[in-house]
Structure 1
């Protein structure tokens, strides 16, 4: 196809940095759209949902294409609010490069740092765009200095903002900065280049800095090997700096990619369309995908059929017969496909840390009882679109449970249910999701041999393991006692045996050893060991007892020095572990750890204390043992393996319950 260079670029930012406005500018300036949309007016192309238009924020990632200088750019606009970080995680999995947008007015914000850590881990090429230089009171020099310090990265400014005339911001390209090299932004850029280029270091020390074209060429080389990170200034509102950004996208970020020879794709988003049904947004990593093709789903472990192929086109879908390597497209299928799935047989690695993990659980109830079934079905669809919700439908007690990242997410889910399904729902107060771990070593014995035909006899040894170590399983039983085909069923059953412990939470940080057992050469079958394993494991937990583990936040606070006292007082009330403060001019920086349960609502108080001018960064930082109180314990949902007679009847299909055998 022509043009041949295809690059998938994500636009990332802290909320309200101007990310969607910049997307609209790029589309308009490149000629992809005739008139520029507005976030405030609800006319932005990438904010297609009614809820996005009404709230003026991005909630779902959106893909749009444009062409600039014979390069195709597939641009993914992502949500900026941390409550929708799971959507950003899924988008990151298919990106070739990133534009990181920073507001010149607000500067470096907490979520900016979260995003930067993910970008560093993935080693993605990045252009930093400092937006809103037209705003009153901006200090572009300070923002540049703060960025370098906070990101711990060497920056290089590819243009320079001239704000000398009020209400008339201008930009100078780097090659047009003669007479301005003494200003800090450019001086620091040259120092950074000198540190990573020996030839320029010698020229810099000799004062030979007048060949701007040569300097820029050396800077571009350093940017390509990620020794330097490029910075561009501009204003999406006024369309300033947009052409420079487009030109640098082609020079710095658009390079030929390598793809597999066989059909391969990554699913990064799933949504339900009123007319087209289930749609999966994919990026092709090899081969030619065609309508009516079948391709292997690694999550479903079977072939799925591609009914139709579409490509995103300015907020709508255009149908195409095929999808080429490197292209982002949408396929329709009748299969229950989920975001994160890999299609084809190639291994598409995506073992990276999440920007934020869900540590809060919320129960959802239908306001009107007649909507109970309808609400359950709607939540199932929302869970397919966002698997991080981890939706559970406990039919015995008529309860719906979700995992969430924060209160904004629940508000959006509530509006979503009204707008899409006309369902009024109540979201109860979020609760912290704890974990359990064995208090001591103990054995768990199970004998499943009635009613025949069945036979699975096992003894498990459960040992506590270090916090954060997860689950391990080994077998010391000879294959003459239990054959490998049955041991494999035990291994398969271990993870879902530990989904609920004695106190109602997932069990972790333990070592499980199968120390004794037997099979029957006539009566045993694989399902017997699948059924019996949870009974033996839960019996071992009952004998050992369990401790609760609570999720912890690592916090980093930056605020004015005169607020150190009040903020330290708040942290002490939350029983936080606080490191000694450090000071930077008029600001202090505090780091430490605090329980999620204590800090769940602290962001609101912090913003009030600092008048919105402080920075609070919270990131999940493992788990710690905590005291067990009645309010933390949850009842077991479904049929417990400790109720062995009911469990056996349930697993044999004698009656229905929520806890079904995994497929």
Structure 2
């Protein structure tokens, strides 16, 4: 039974935040401390011990990593914080994507030793595209080689944003095994010029003291640099400076207000530090979440659209209750689905009806809960700006828009009036294409339906998974974003969902296409004879291959902009205007698109889906007396299939997924790794840079960034600062990157690391195509 929760506070007192970072930066460890200090939990969970609140799945606890984003709610200083802990592994990027879609702010956790890593850059870009304000927490300042100043400089140069140091590390000399080391014991509050020290223990005992003369020198420099940066960015603080004519005389309250304004506008980012595992620095981070990240009423209003090309309309002007389903999970106890929603307008109450604009179905809210990781607490309503969970609904999927009646409004969508309001939808959540697949074979014919049901649950939980049927063998194929992603999915399928199935080895998902120079067919017409009083229907289509990148010739680019985009970089253009006396134009268009998509789902080389194809439907003959569009869909499919069959065998080519790879290595290993990527793995190296530089390096001049000296860097047992790293960026076929980590570790004596993301499908040269066929 779910317990009852306290009512939600007013929206200015609510923070919807996420914890984002590269894998193993300490996101879950930091979150566990937040829960403990807020009083929500009575003990601190440990990732290594497998007893954390947030990583509750067996696979997460066994591997010590976050696999699925977990939501939890807690209170701090009179505010309610809805927090989502996201994965850091590149294979689970979609988990991050759908989580940040509903956030108002984010905490970026950085490893003080590793600095800004590749996955951090990617997630930072994703949040920046959505305009989400962020704060930075430099974690692991107790580790050998941790450098706060170096990491702050990387934030400015790699992520391209002005940094504002809110607190800086505090060290104290200590003796460790006969050696004198600088032990990390707390932080220096730059704004109020005071020291915060934590004693050994659970971090509850915090001592506040005045700075020593030596500590005050650097702290004053940091405060002056902070104020100088803000006066460049904020007019309000400039007026205060002109009034006082002294940086040091500006009150801390005015500096905080200016920093908040700059943070909300994404002109600057507050930077804090700590060591979550040692229970140091987490409370000031929680204060900063309240101080600098936005309340739900401080973010731009969400917008709805009546169609893909329709102008956006703020939800308040639409005068209807609106929520976005951003995550769906299976509840094993009662075998129901839990739908995580962010309410953008109105108040969603228990028992209320809602209309799903994706499925065009009407459902009723049976139960509303607030999630505490895997624990449910029942609530009566979810107010605008809050995140909650609907329990017991059937047809909702990730990205669906739910419309419901708003208090005081007469607008409400039902199946009967769906034409007027039922097409309104929030901006969708983009789903990346899968690149790996594995065959799923039921243990027996009787297990076919249970296996299909279990796969359906997996797909509802994670839309970045795909299930298809091999047309030749009839096998079920489960596709995903990476090796670990598929490994976790198959583990869930067999162990959690109890599906009795055998899972084959993980393989790569290829595509078919045609050589661009030879990839064009003349027009082909297919006629569907009339049946049961239906007249004959005819469709004429022609086909052309297009390049896999986006830099087309002006005429081709203009044609594709007018075309309808399909999956796998395919397009269809319907020449002329579709019209009919009895059938609506959108229904005619959908039938043509469905027929074309069906034809492109199977090539002639190895029955793989076709990629990078532009189909032009040159003519459609649907007589006025036609009563349905079924024949139109069939004729479209058969006409395109005729075009595919007419293509010369010499024009048919394979396409393989190509990855954007960033390999971080020591300078001594650069030559070996570059040679391996370009020679042995058919990679194309396109950038080579210092680890302190990056794609956004030009945005902020490193010389203008204040950073405290790292001569107090914590170095135990006679260690030294980490050697400078180099980043090699390359485009490499995915086939060559399978199992790459163990080879990289071997080449670099365990010091190398890499991250890769799907870039695009590329045509395969003939010699490589033979190797793929041999597999």
TM-score, shorter chain, exceeding 0.5: yes
Q: TM-score range by the shorter chain?
A: 0.7 to 0.9
Q: How many residues align?
A: 634
Look up the match of 1:553: 659
Aligned mates of 2:458, 2:24 — CA distance in 1: 25
Contact 1:125 1:226 in 2 (8 A): yes
Deviation at 1:398, TM superposition (A): 4.3
- What's the CA shift string for 1:613-660, capped at 9, x where partnerless? 3343423333332236366579xxxxxxxxxxxxxxxxxxxxxxxxxx
2:196 is equivalent to residue 196 of structure 1: no
Deviation at 1:75, TM superposition (A): 0.6
2:9 is equivalent to residue 3 of structure 1: yes
Alignment of 1:517-536 (within 5 A): 517-522=620-625, 525-536=628-639
Look up the match of 2:377: 318
Look up the match of 1:622: 760
Look up the match of 1:645: none
Contact 1:308 1:332 in 2 (8 A): yes
TM-score (norm 1): 0.86
Matched residue SS, 2:616: strand
Look up the match of 2:715: none
2:604 is equivalent to residue 502 of structure 1: yes
Aligned in 2, Cα 1:201/1:229: closer, same or farther, shift over 3 Å? farther
2:545 is equivalent to residue 464 of structure 1: yes
Structure 1: which 5+ runs fail to align?
Answer: 635-663
Aligned mates of 1:434, 1:383 — CA distance in 2: 22
Of 96-105 and 452-461, more deviation after overlay is shown by: 452-461
- What's the CA shift string for 1:181-233, capped at 9, x where partnerless? 379977865664454357669979x9844656254543333223221111110
Alignment of 1:318-337 (within 5 A): 318-337=377-396
2:261 is equivalent to residue 233 of structure 1: no
- What is the aligned counterpart of 2:367 among 308, 319, 331? 308
Aligned in 2, Cα 1:593/1:263: closer, same or farther, shift over 3 Å? same
Alignment of 1:425-444 (within 5 A): 425-437=502-514, 439-444=519-524
Deviation at 1:131, TM superposition (A): 1.3
2:55 is equivalent to residue 47 of structure 1: yes
Look up the match of 1:489: 591
Matched residue SS, 2:53: coil
Aligned mates of 2:770, 2:581 — CA distance in 1: 43
Contact 2:188 2:219 in 1 (8 A): no
Aligned mates of 1:312, 1:588 — CA distance in 2: 42
- What is the aligned counterpart of 1:571 among 677, 695, 698? 677
2:742 is equivalent to residue 604 of structure 1: yes
Aligned in 2, Cα 1:318/1:14: closer, same or farther, shift over 3 Å? same
- What's the CA shift string for 1:269-293, capped at 9, x where partnerless? 1112121512211111122222332
Aligned mates of 1:427, 1:527 — CA distance in 2: 37
Aligned in 2, Cα 1:544/1:452: closer, same or farther, shift over 3 Å? farther
Aligned in 2, Cα 1:408/1:183: closer, same or farther, shift over 3 Å? farther
Of 141-150 and 279-288, more deviation after overlay is shown by: 141-150
Contact 1:442 1:541 in 2 (8 A): no
Look up the match of 2:576: 476
Alignment of 1:216-231 (within 5 A): 216-231=256-271
Look up the match of 1:641: none
**Higher relative contact order structure (alpha carbons within 8 Å, sequence separation ≥ 6):** 2
Structure 2: which 5+ runs fail to align?
Answer: 1-6, 174-181, 194-214, 302-314, 404-421, 551-559, 561-568, 693-722
Aligned mates of 1:217, 1:329 — CA distance in 2: 30
TM-score (norm 2): 0.74
2:461 is equivalent to residue 380 of structure 1: no
- What's the CA shift string for 1:545-600, capped at 9, x where partnerless? 54433332233333222112101211122222223644579443433322222333
Aligned in 2, Cα 1:340/1:612: closer, same or farther, shift over 3 Å? farther
- What's the CA shift string for 1:57-112, capped at 9, x where partnerless? 22211111111222111111112222111111111111111111111133222211
Aligned in 2, Cα 1:394/1:593: closer, same or farther, shift over 3 Å? closer
Aligned in 2, Cα 1:201/1:129: closer, same or farther, shift over 3 Å? farther
- What's the CA shift string for 1:357-385, capped at 9, x where partnerless? 53222222346776444333212211111
Contact 1:477 1:516 in 2 (8 A): no
Look up the match of 1:364: 440
Aligned in 2, Cα 1:374/1:2: closer, same or farther, shift over 3 Å? closer
- What is the aligned counterpart of 2:285 among 237, 245, 248? 245
Contact 1:443 1:543 in 2 (8 A): no
